[in-house]
């Protein structure tokens, strides 16, 4: 549900994008940060609120990757990652009754999954440490019904299990990583502590971008080597669904592929020398999820909530059946 503060933050981000091409870098920065200061002054949203919002998302990603690789939740690892902090009660993770970890057949995918599981777990502990006594516990997370719901919404089918095999795991990971990149991008200008918190947030953003790029590259390589576009087709459906959830009234940005959206799937397109898609004679991939100016997308907290909760009116559903913990939810 859009609140006063999230509506204000949405307006800041949208206006910033529209003015980006007509303003110099210094002027743009001044306008953006001035608007951010105004939003903070009129609302109760703090840096800790933003970090806790990020922590909710990191709980989700860490659980997904840890379960895929180790078959247990993060709090059941040999060195447990706490999900109950500061007197709160950690939520439960809903899994298929027949859940089992991924039996990886491709060594490169297994290695990627292992690395990412470790890194997402570190993001959780890092944010918990940075927030200290302000950190929230993990909310309820659904990694079963959620994928089935999104599969239906994206036109993939009635059911989808990302733990079935390498390919399905990559598609499941694809759902998360691009969302994480846009979340940190959208939140960066809203952070008031530019010396300590902003660099850390940008550091996490960079790692999420590496993850997203690796997923998209691997999907592209698998489809190319197998001479089919099965996985790429799924990414295009997922990206379309994410953009639709984030922009129910229609996106105002143009993608690298020339579509009106804030998300593009993995595909091969024709471009001209200036990068305009559609009628050019040069073949290009869409490994990078970016706009027509090759700038990465950023999303507001309202848009991220719409994606991870399926656009529900009360921001409860899909991956977070009981909603998120913290102020921004």
Same domain, 36 and 58: no
Same domain, 235 and 98: yes
Task: Find all residues with CB under 8 Å of 84, minimum gap 6, and list them.
Answer: 75, 90, 137, 138
Same domain, 5 and 93: no
Instruction: Flag whether 117 is in a domain.
Output: yes
Same domain, 137 and 183: yes
Tell me, what's the pLDDT at 3? 45
Same domain, 2 and 129: no
Domain final residue, candidates 10, 25, 45: 45
Same domain, 20 and 50: no
Instruction: Flag whether 274 is in a domain.
Output: no
Q: pLDDT tens, position by position, for the chain (329 residues)? A: 444 444 444 443 344 444 333 333 333 333 333 333 333 333 568 999 999 999 999 999 999 999 999 999 999 999 999 999 999 999 999 999 999 999 999 999 999 999 999 999 999 999 999 999 999 999 999 999 999 998 888 888 889 999 999 999 999 999 999 999 999 999 999 999 999 999 999 999 999 999 999 999 999 998 877 655 689 999 999 999 999 999 999 999 999 999 999 999 999 888 887 766 766 778 889 999 999 999 999 999 999 999 999 999 999 999 999 999 999 99
Nearest to 315 by CA among 305, 328, 300, 325: 305
Same domain, 26 and 160: no
Instruction: Flag whether 216 is in a domain.
Output: yes
Instruction: Flag whether 285 is in a domain.
Output: no
* DSSP result, 231-297: HHHHHHHHHHHHHHHH-TT---SBBTTS-BSS---S-EEEE-TT--BSS-SEEEE--S-BBTTS-B-
**Total domain count, the chain:** 2
Instruction: Flag whether 322 is in a domain.
Output: no
Domain that residue 88 falls in? 46-253+297-308
Same domain, 34 and 154: no
Instruction: Flag whether 261 is in a domain.
Output: no
Same domain, 85 and 226: yes
Tell me, what's the pLDDT at 232? 93
CATH number of the domain residue 165 falls in: 1.20.1260
| C-alpha dist (Å) from residue 7 to 205, 230, 245 | 23, 38, 16
Instruction: Flag whether 115 is in a domain.
Output: yes
Same domain, 128 and 210: yes
Same domain, 108 and 239: yes
Instruction: Flag whether 14 is in a domain.
Output: yes
Tell me, what's the pLDDT at 6? 44
Same domain, 177 and 59: yes
Residue 94 β-bridge partners: 142
């Amino acid at each position: 549900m859009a609140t006063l503060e999230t509506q204000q933050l949405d307006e800041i981000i949208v206006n910033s994008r529209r003015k980006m091409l007509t303003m110099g870098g210094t002027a743009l920065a001044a306008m953006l940060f001035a608007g951010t200061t105004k939003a903070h002054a009129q609302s109760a949203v703090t840096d800790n609120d933003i970090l806790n919002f990020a922590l909710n998302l990191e709980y989700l990603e860490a659980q997904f990757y840890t379960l895929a690789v180790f078959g247990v939740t993060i709090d059941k690892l040999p060195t447990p990652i706490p999900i109950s902090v500061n007197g709160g009660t950690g939520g439960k993770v809903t899994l298929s009754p027949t859940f089992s970890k991924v039996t990886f057949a491709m060594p490169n995918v297994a290695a990627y999954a292992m690395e990412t599981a470790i890194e997402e777990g570190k993001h959780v502990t890092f944010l918990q440490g940075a927030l200290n006594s302000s950190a929230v516990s993990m909310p309820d997370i659904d990694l079963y019904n959620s994928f089935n719901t999104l599969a239906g919404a994206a036109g993939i089918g009635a059911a989808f299990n990302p733990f079935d095999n390498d390919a399905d795991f990559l598609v499941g990971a694809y759902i998360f990583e691009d969302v994480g990149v846009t979340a940190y991008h959208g939140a960066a200008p809203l952070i008031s502590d530019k010396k300590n918190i902003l660099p850390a947030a940008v550091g996490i953003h960079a790692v999420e971008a590496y993850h997203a790029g690796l997923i998209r590259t691997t999907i592209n390589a698998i489809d190319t080597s197998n001479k089919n576009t099965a996985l790429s087709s799924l990414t295009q459906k997922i990206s379309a669904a994410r953009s639709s959830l984030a922009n129910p009234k229609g996106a105002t940005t143009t993608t690298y592929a020339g579509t009106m959206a804030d998300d593009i799937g993995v595909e091969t397109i024709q471009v001209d020398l200036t990068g305009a898609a559609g009628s050019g004679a040069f073949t290009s991939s869409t490994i990078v999820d970016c706009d027509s100016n090759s700038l990465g997308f950023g999303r507001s907290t309202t848009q991220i909530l719409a994606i991870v909760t399926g656009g529900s009116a009360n921001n409860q559903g899909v991956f977070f059946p009981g909603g998120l913990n913290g102020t921004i939810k």
